[in-house]
Amino acid sequence: MKFNLENKVALVTGGSRGIGRSICTELARAGAAVVFSYRSNASAAEQTQKDIERAGGICRAVEGDVADLGAAETLVGELIRDYGRLDILVNNAGVTRDQLLARMKPEDFDAVIQTNLRGTWNLCRAVVRPMMKARAGRIINISSVVAQMGNAGQSNYAASKGGVEALTRALSRELGSRQITVNAIAPGMIETEMTAGMTADQRALLGAQIPLGRLGTVEDVAHAVCFLASNEGSYITGQVLAVNGGLG
């Protein structure tokens, strides 16, 4: 089934690369007009926008740091001014600064929380009034399997994603009466630039821990986003959907 998102407008944070890029591509393929943000890599953003437009989609890239509430409000305000509506928010932008706790600098903890958790809260806050007014909306937050499983060297990242899942549940209760659904997707190990450098042995070792026997693809995550954003996902809220091949 191809989900139909025609006449919908979507905002995706961190859409220039990796999982976010695929989310933008699949939302546009389903018919949504897509605005995505990125932090600094303008050439990757331009490439993603061009590729989506070349395939017939509607797409715009906007530079902006999700950790800045003012920038989030400006982004959403301009989007609504230009497109007239906002139906779907995907909080995808995320960073890691891995280190064992004894060696982790407080700045590394703060930076990851600022982008992953505060950034998600900022964008939710920026979209909530227009979505409440419209009495409709979909908020989809990208978490990680690490929120549930934990991972050595990722105390900052795991805490940020655990916070994202708790935020998701709290907002689903706050916004349900306005028909706004709020869900999270928790990807497992996904084939991205991060995992591309692994050796065949490392890959086999990882694969052995995943019941489905392979790493996930960026499209595996993007398809789950399209489902939750679609009419078919309209009675699902406050959930964390694991897209991890059974890992954990």
189 counts as binding ligand NAP under rule CB under 6 A: yes
Residue 22's φ and ψ, nearest 5 degrees, are -70, -35
Rounded CA separation 200/208 (Å) = 12
Exactly one of 88, 127, 167, 190 binds ligand NAP (CB under 6 A); that residue is: 190
Which of 10-18, 101-109, 166-174, 232-240 is the region at the interface with ligand NAP (rule: CB under 6 A)? 10-18
Using CB under 6 A, count the residues that bind ligand NAP: 30
In angstroms, what is the minimal distance from the CB of 123 to ligand NAP? 10
In this structure, the number of other CB atoms found within 10 A of the CB of residue 205 comes to 11
Beta strands in the chain (DSSP E): 9-12, 33-38, 58-63, 88-91, 137-142, 180-187, 240-243
Question: What's 104-154 look like in SS3?
Answer: CCHHHHHHHHHHHHHHHHHHHHHHHHHHHHHCCEEEEEECCCHHHHCCCCC
38 counts as binding ligand NAP under rule CB under 6 A: yes
123 counts as binding ligand NAP under rule CB under 6 A: no
For residue 83, indicate whether it is catalytic.
no
Rounded CA separation 154/144 (Å) = 11
65 counts as binding ligand NAP under rule CB under 6 A: yes
In angstroms, what is the minimal distance from the CB of 6 to ligand NAP? 25
In angstroms, what is the minimal distance from the CB of 7 to ligand NAP? 26
Catalogue the active-site residues.
Answer: 157
Binding site for ligand NAP (CB under 6 A): 13-14, 16-20, 37-41, 44, 65-67, 92-95, 115, 119, 142, 144, 187, 189-190, 192-194
